[in-house]
Amino acid sequence: MSSIIQGINTLAMLKAFIPYIGEINPMNRVFLPAANKPKNNLSLHPNQKKTPSVQKLLQFIGTRCYISSELRARIEQDFHRIETKAGDVLLKQDRHANKLYFIDQGLMHNYYYHDGKQVSSWFYNENQFDTAWYSFYAQKPGFEEIACLEDCVLFEITFEKYQKLIADFPAFGNFARLLAEEILAFLDYFSKSWSFLSAKEKYDLLQTHFPLIEQRVKLGQIATFLGISQETLSRIRNK
């Protein structure tokens, strides 16, 4: 009975946590009013077009710290806009993650290899930051790779410039601290809770928050993220 209750509690908690990374703060320290909170764009039609602008990056940072005119100028200077194609690999396994990406448009995929098979660790979409978090913060070679699942418009910053922004602007340092706390809280809770859910519960949870994910992500990649075979995923979808 206790394991059933624990599973129910886990499912309820993960429903609160999973829409991150970039939209909510699991520690209740971030302050997007509900009416203004951006929807998770994995639910948007993949062909929907948007105008890329640094404004979305500024708005994201601005929910967590005050942006002075001087800080705004540095953000616009240090974050570089790049365009990538679907299939481009931005980070290879065993390399240092020296860049942090803000996704203006598109979908990115973090994954690693286990026994020669690709395993999805997370999908990142519009208005979210992405990197190989361990490698970026520790500045050590990591085990993850990062690829673009769609054509993307990104704003990238190097680790060195990110640290310089933190040193030069206490407000940005507060933003960086909050972002790191959000990621740590989410990943820690997620890693300890995901194993309590059944394959069906994991799939239902994913569908609740990313209802159109199957239009943007291959079923095989979704299956490895859920920790099940593609055949099992097909059976679950057909029920």
Q: What is the pLDDT of residues 107-154, one digit of tens each?
A: 999 999 999 999 999 899 999 999 999 999 999 999 999 999 999 999
Token pair recorded at residue 139: 């500045």
Helices (H), 27-158: 54-62, 69-78, 133-138
Please tell me the chain's helix, strand, coil percentages from 3-state DSSP, rounded to the nearest 5. 50, 20, 35
Given the candidates 3.40.50.360, 3.30.465.10, 2.60.120.10, 3.40.50.2000, the CATH classification of the domain at 2-238 is 2.60.120.10
CB 154, CB 102: distance < 8 Å: yes
pTM over 0.85: no
Sketch the domain layout of the chain as residue ranges: 2-238
Residue carrying the six token digits 């997620």: 190
Written as one string, the DSSP assignment of 106-144 is S-EEEEEEETTEEEEEEEE-TT-EES-HHHHHHTSB-S-
Q: What is the pLDDT of residues 146-191, one digit of tens each?
A: 999 999 999 999 999 999 999 999 999 999 999 999 989 888 877 7
Q: How many CB atoms lie within 10 A of CB 8?
A: 12
CB 178, CB 22: distance < 8 Å: no
Q: What is the pLDDT of residue 52?
A: 52
211: pLDDT strictly greater than 90: no
Give the pLDDT mean for 27-52: 40
* Mean pLDDT value across the chain: 81
Give percent of the chain above pLDDT 70.
Answer: 78
